[in-house]
């Protein structure tokens, strides 16, 4: 009787094991067919670094420096813009950006390439850009300076990072602001003299 019972149980166990293996094989095959093109973990591509190093004619990088928030007559700011074909420094007075002084110079692709590679080595693209209210610099660091850097493709801002001289508002830039500022100002031979005229 026991021998008869064992002879019936063994085939049932074999059928169950074979069924489980067959189901597992089918699931693995289905995954391989339908999900082979989808990576398990999506890698984050740093498009801002690629945009920074591109030297197409429609690329540019900017640095904008804003002074303390004071009366309109006393408010000062300036912007340096560098493209593969031009460099400019414009100083402003007031919140409506009345031009005080401007320097406009030609540029070339080889010079621009050296400049953006220097910015890359100084880690301009490092840091996560803020979104929403955290990226709104209005009223930030009312007693000091706010410095904004932008990487631009055509008219689209690929990445914008900022920092300030106020301890509680370090911003999104994760690099040396002094090193980056020096690189930008050095693009304009008379840059420091022009900036000093506005007492920033």
From the list 48, 39, 40, 28, the residue with the least C-alpha distance to 157 is: 48
User: Tell me, what's the pLDDT at 159?
Assistant: 93
User: Hey, how many other C-beta atoms are within 10 angstroms of the C-beta on 198?
Assistant: 17
Strand partners for 122: none
Alpha-carbon distance of 33 to 20, in angstroms, equals: 20
Backbone angles phi and psi of 7, in degrees to 5: -70, -25
Spans of all domains in the chain: 1-43, 47-196
Structure tokens of 39? 């990576």
User: Tell me, what's the pLDDT at 1?
Assistant: 54
User: Tell me, what's the pLDDT at 42?
Assistant: 41
**pLDDT one-digit tens code per residue, 33-92:** 665 554 444 445 568 889 999 999 999 999 999 999 999 999 999 999 999 999 999 999
Would you give the distance in Å from CA 123 to the centre of its chain?
10
- The domain at 47-196 falls in which architecture? 2-Layer Sandwich (3.30)
Instruction: Count Cβ neighbours within 10 Å for each residue of 28-37 and write b for 16 or more, e otherwise.
Output: eeeeeeeeee
User: Tell me, what's the pLDDT at 43?
Assistant: 46
Going from the C-alpha of 41 to that of each of 29, 37, 44, 47, 200, the distances in angstroms are 20, 12, 9, 18, 47
| Cα dihedral across residues 17, 20, 23, 28: positive or negative | negative
Structure tokens of 111? 């010079």
User: Tell me, what's the pLDDT at 158?
Assistant: 93
User: Tell me, what's the pLDDT at 47?
Assistant: 85
Alpha-carbon distance of 105 to 90, in angstroms, equals: 12
| Cα dihedral across residues 26, 32, 34, 38: positive or negative | positive
- With a cut of 70, list the residues of the chain below it in pLDDT: 1-8, 10-11, 14, 17-18, 20, 25, 27, 29-30, 32-46
Contact 150, 168 (CB under 8 A): no
User: Tell me, what's the pLDDT at 24?
Assistant: 72
Alpha-carbon distance of 173 to 196, in angstroms, equals: 24
């Amino acid at each position: 009787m026991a021998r008869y019972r064992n002879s019936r149980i063994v085939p049932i166990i074999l059928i169950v094991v074979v069924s489980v293996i067959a189901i597992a094989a089918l699931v693995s095959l289905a995954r391989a067919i339908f999900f082979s093109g989808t990576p398990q973990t999506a890698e984050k591509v740093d498009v801002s670094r690629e945009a920074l190093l591109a030297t197409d004619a429609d690329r540019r990088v900017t640095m904008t420096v804003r002074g303390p928030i004071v009366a309109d007559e006393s408010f000062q700011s300036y912007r340096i813009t560098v493209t593969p074909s031009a460099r400019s420094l414009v100083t402003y007075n007031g919140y409506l950006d009345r031009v005080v002084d401007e320097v406009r110079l030609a540029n070339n692709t080889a010079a621009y390439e050296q400049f953006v590679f220097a910015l890359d080595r100084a880690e301009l693209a490092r840091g996560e850009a803020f979104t929403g209210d955290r990226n709104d610099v209005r009223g930030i660091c009312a007693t000091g300076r706010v410095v904004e850097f932008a990487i631009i493709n055509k008219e689209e801002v690929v990445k914008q990072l900022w920092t300030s001289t106020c301890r509680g508002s370090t911003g999104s830039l994760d690099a040396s602001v002094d090193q980056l500022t020096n690189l930008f100002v050095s693009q304009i031979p008379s840059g420091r003299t022009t900036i000093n005229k506005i007492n920033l």
